[in-house]
Amino acid sequence: MTPASFTARGWDRLRLRQSPHMRNLAAETEFTTSHFVQPLFFVDGLTAPDGRETIPGLGDDNTRCNERALVETVARDLDAGVRHFLLFAVPAEKRGTLDTSHVTRAVRAIKGAFGDRLCLWVDVCLCSSTTHGHCAVLDAKGGIALGPTLEALAAYAVAAADAGADGVSPSDMMDGRTAHLRAALDAAGHVRVPVMSYSTKFASKFYGPFRAAADSSPQHGDRAHYQIDVRARVDAIQSSVRCAEEGADLLMVKPGMTSIDLIRPIAEATGKLVGAYQVSGEYAGLRALAREGLVDVDAALVETWHVFRRAGAAYIITYGARRAAALGWPVR
Ligand code: PBG
């Protein structure tokens, strides 16, 4: 019998070579629509418009979707050249316990409709599900209960993979979660499912519009005791190194625009592909400038995406991914 740990290592070079979309994303010497990742927001139980479909500041092209709207949106995005999607699934109500049925339904809706025409990455975090809005299970004193948190994250990732997700993307910033997810996925038979880790994620003011859309604002305190301090360069790089050692297939800096200096150092320290997440506040900032008549939003987006590339980003997660083809990137 091959030991489980050896099996996991054996797949490390193979996961990103499996499908044309994965290979296109990992092809670093050209940049096409396959290098852009489009976030999607699924809100369970959204039957009638609730007045909050549009995500504050992101413009009407970024909406909170029910299952039907999700499928319609993805169909349009595929036509526009998008190949990679990052799904945020928000439960109908926060029960405090981890229920992943909404994740399963959203993944099945998309993969059932489009199959291998796209790669679906699922954001793995607890902050949309917990009553307190933190990314962890808390203990009686309000501190992080790391063991139960890792178990819950692993269950979330396995549920997403069981439903057909092509990859999982832990965004919680708990210590050891990449290794824990990898082990849980392997144990459940998902040795082929890659992990795109939010490996260098700062505590940032630029997540505001996202938290409104994902119903994930902390009800008390902030996320400074698990997300990285913007002043801490060594911590920022080591956090990605640790994720790489734990088996992450893809690394990421976030917020992208304010982490531009770290992309190349992380890539060199780890030998891994590093992406940049242009987060909701950064994207909304450009939209706000455009509303004031101070900037052409498309030209500004193109500029920021070129800068991500110049800085060494292997892929870009942006709310404007669906505009990349129209803005000149070849569709692949
Ligand atoms: C959940 C999560 C957040 C984002 C992605 N996943 C918010 C947070 O950490 O508070 C932010 C994305 C964005 O602002 O566009 N943990």
- Residue 127, ligand 1, Cβ within 6 A: yes
Q: What Rg do the C-alpha atoms of the chain give, in angstroms?
A: 18
With 80 as the cut, is the pLDDT of residue 3 above it?
Answer: no
Structural domains in the chain? 3-323 (3.20.20.70)
CA of 262 to the centre of ligand 1 (A): 19
Residues sharing a CB contact under 8 Å with residue 257, sequence separation 6 or more, in sequence order: 276, 278, 282, 304, 307
User: For residues 9 and 247, what is the distance between their CA atoms, to the nearest angstrom?
Assistant: 8
User: For residues 133 and 218, what is the distance between their CA atoms, to the nearest angstrom?
Assistant: 4
Ligand 1 mutation pick, 130, 137, 207, 304, max ligand atoms within 8 A of CB: 207
End-to-end Cα separation, the chain, in angstroms: 40
Map residue 2 onto helix, strand or coil: coil
Residue 294 vs residues 15, 55, 297: alpha-carbon distances, Å: 44, 21, 9
Burial class (CB in 10 A: 0-12, 13-18, 19+), 151: middle
| Residue with CA nearest ligand 1 atom 6 | 171
Model pLDDT, residue 49: 63
- More confident of the two residues 30 and 6: 30
Q: Report whether 329 contacts 32 (CB < 8 A).
A: yes
- Bridge-based pairing of strands 119-124 and 167-170 is parallel
Helices (H) and strands (E) in the chain, counts: 11, 9
| Catalytic residue chosen out of the listed positions 111, 141, 201, 205 | 201
Residue 134 vs residues 110, 127, 129: alpha-carbon distances, Å: 27, 5, 9
**Residue 254 bears catalytic tag:** yes
User: For residues 234 and 254, what is the distance between their CA atoms, to the nearest angstrom?
Assistant: 15
**Over residues 50-63, mean pLDDT:** 75
Residues sharing a CB contact under 8 Å with residue 245, sequence separation 6 or more, in sequence order: none
Angle of helix 101-114 relative to helix 67-79, nearest 10 degrees? 40
Give the atom of ligand 1 at the shortest distance from the alpha carbon of 281. Answer: 14
**Residue 272 bears catalytic tag:** no
- Of the pLDDT bands very low, low, confident and very high (cuts 50, 70, 90), residue 13 is confident
CA of 204 to the centre of ligand 1 (A): 9
CA of 28 to the centre of ligand 1 (A): 26
- More confident of the two residues 127 and 82: 82
User: For residues 270 and 248, what is the distance between their CA atoms, to the nearest angstrom?
Assistant: 10
| Residue with CA nearest ligand 1 atom 5 | 171
- Residue 211, ligand 1, Cβ within 6 A: yes
For residue range 150-196, what is the model confidence (pLDDT) as tens digits?
Answer: 999 999 999 999 999 999 999 999 999 999 999 999 999 999 999 99
Tokens representing 52 are: 């909050």
- Residue 125, ligand 1, Cβ within 6 A: yes
Model pLDDT, residue 9: 67
Residues of the chain with pLDDT > 90, as a percent, come to 80
